[in-house]
Amino acid sequence: MVPDRWTTGVTVSIISHAAILLALIALLGGCKPPPEERYIAEPGAAARGLAAIKRAGCAACHRIKGIDWPQGELGPSLIDYDDVGPIAGALPGTPANLAAFVRNAPAVKPGSTMPPMPVTPAEARDIATYLMGTSHD
C-alpha cells in the first residue's frame, strides 16, 4: 500500500519540526553559563591595596601601575593587570582567586615561584581590588 501525498507531507513536516526542536535544545544546552556579575569594590579598597603593595614590596619583583620605583622584572608586569586573563596562566581571574594567590601563591598554584606574601586576608583583597582596577587609562 502506497501512502498518499497528504500523509507523507504531514509525516515529513512533523519529523522536520521535531528535528529543529531537538537541534535548538542541543544548542541551548551547550551555551555557556552567564558571566559573573561585575565585581564592585568597597570604597577605599583600591587605595588601601596600593598602600599594601608598597608595604609588602611587591614592586621589587613586578612592574606595577602607580609605583615609579622599583620596577621589578623578576615577576610578570602587573601594569594593566585587568587584561591579563587567567591568574598565573591557570586560575580563573576572579577577585577571590587573585587575593588567595597574592597571599600564598604556592598554596593556590603548586610550583609557583612567587613566595607567600606578608599580607593579611583583608590586604590581599584590597591588593586584588587595586590590580583588577588598573587598565589602559
98 confidence band (pLDDT: 50, 70, 90):
very high
Q: Please, what are the domains in the chain?
A: 45-133 (2.60.40.420)
Q: Give yes or no for residue 37 having a pLDDT over 80.
A: no
Sequence-separated (6 or more) residues with CB below 8 Å from residue 107:
100, 116
pLDDT at 121: 96
Whether the per-residue pLDDT at 102 is higher than 70: the answer is yes
Between 66 and 20, residue with greater pLDDT:
66
Mean pLDDT, the chain, whole residue set:
81
User: What's the whole-model pTM score?
Assistant: 0.68
Which of 22-31, 79-88, 93-102, 109-118 has the lowest average pLDDT?
22-31
